[in-house]
């Protein structure tokens, strides 16, 4: 496979990752509002207001997650594509597995992009977030590694379908099912956190 085809496959998988991340974010918002306002009964907000929030904030949350995915994962995806492309001349199709030994460095790139390319220290309506201190720590690195690992796995599986000429449907359907579960569970966890304030 030539380098251009490798980069195209990796960027297509990044697009799918961004779409799935947007789905997770949107679903998390809906599940949280349904559980908090309709199941538990939020006395501080009407159900009509909750529906309005679903309509207004769900697309915004999805768009922010989509853009954030590109900010954080574009450089790591390019790095992995370049590793595979560089080693393809030597190892052939087996070069695709080089992403695993390169994963620790890829996680550093993921942390860097997350830490420095995404907004921090934001202010909304005069309320500012606590000042964020940039820098790599063990916990931040482990978080980046934990997030980058399934993304690398998805990208490798997606790339394998390009190499073998098989259908991408099984990989995409499995990723969609996982995204739905993650979105639902994270919405449930956020709803549980909101119950304390009701």
80 close to 102: Cβ distance less than 8 angstroms: yes
Who wins on pLDDT, 187 or 118? 187
**Of the candidates 135, 156, 153, which has an alpha carbon nearest to the alpha carbon of residue 145?**
153
Asked if residue 184 has pLDDT above 70, the reply is yes
Q: State the burial class of residue 106 (Cβ atoms within 10 Å of its Cβ: 0-12, 13-18, 19+).
A: buried
Looking at every residue in the chain, the average pLDDT score rounds to 90
Instruction: For 161-178, write each residue's pLDDT tens digit.
Output: 988 889 999 999 999 999
pLDDT at 111: 93
DSSP state of 167: -
pLDDT in tens, 1-49: 788 899 999 999 999 999 999 999 999 999 998 998 888 777 777 888 8
Provide the whole-model pTM.
Answer: 0.87
Q: Answer whether residue 125 shows pLDDT above 60.
A: no
Mean pLDDT of 185-198: 87
**Chain segment 70-93, per-residue pLDDT in tens:** 999 999 999 999 999 999 989 988
Shortest CA distance to 80 belongs to which of 63, 105, 46, 58?
105
For residue 193, the model assigns a pLDDT of 87
The phi-psi region of residue 165 (left if phi > 0; otherwise alpha if psi is between -120 and 50; otherwise beta) is: left
**Res 45: pLDDT:** 78
Give the tens place of pLDDT for each residue, 134-157.
788 899 999 999 999 999 999 999
What pLDDT does 93 receive? 86
Please provide residue 100's backbone torsions phi and psi, each rounded to the nearest 5 degrees.
-70, -50
The torsion angles phi and psi of 36, rounded to 5 degrees, stand at -70, -45
User: Would residue 41 be called left, alpha or beta, if left means φ above 0 and alpha means ψ between -120 and 50 degrees?
Assistant: left
**35, two tokens:** 């559980």
- Output the pLDDT for position 196: 79
**Other CB atoms within 10 Å distance of the CB of residue 160:** 15
For residues 21 and 65, is the Cβ–Cβ distance under 8 A?
Answer: yes
What's the token pair of residue 84? 């595979």
Using the predicted structure, report yes or no on whether residue 197 has a pLDDT greater than 90.
no
């Amino acid at each position: 496979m030539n380098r251009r085809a490798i980069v195209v496959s990796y960027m297509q998988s990044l697009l799918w990752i961004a779409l799935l991340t947007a789905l997770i974010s949107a679903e998390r918002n809906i599940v949280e509002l349904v559980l908090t306002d309709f199941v538990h009964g939020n006395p501080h907000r009407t159900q009509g207001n909750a529906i309005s929030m679903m309509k207004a904030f769900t697309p915004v949350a999805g768009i922010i997650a989509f853009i954030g995915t590109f900010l954080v994962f574009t450089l790591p995806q390019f790095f992995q594509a370049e590793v595979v492309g560089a080693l393809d001349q030597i190892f052939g199709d087996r070069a695709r597995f080089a992403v695993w030994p390169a994963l620790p460095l890829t996680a550093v790139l993921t942390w860097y992009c997350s830490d420095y390319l995404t907004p921090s220290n934001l202010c909304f309506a005069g309320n500012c977030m606590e000042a964020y201190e940039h820098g790599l720590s063990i916990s931040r690195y482990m978080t980046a590694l934990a997030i980058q690992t399934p993304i690398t796995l998805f990208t490798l599986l997606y790339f394998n379908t390009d190499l073998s000429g098989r259908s991408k449907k099984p990989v995409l359907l499995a990723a969609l099912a996982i995204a739905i579960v993650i979105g639902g569970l994270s919405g449930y966890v956020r709803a549980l956190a909101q119950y304390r304030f009701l």
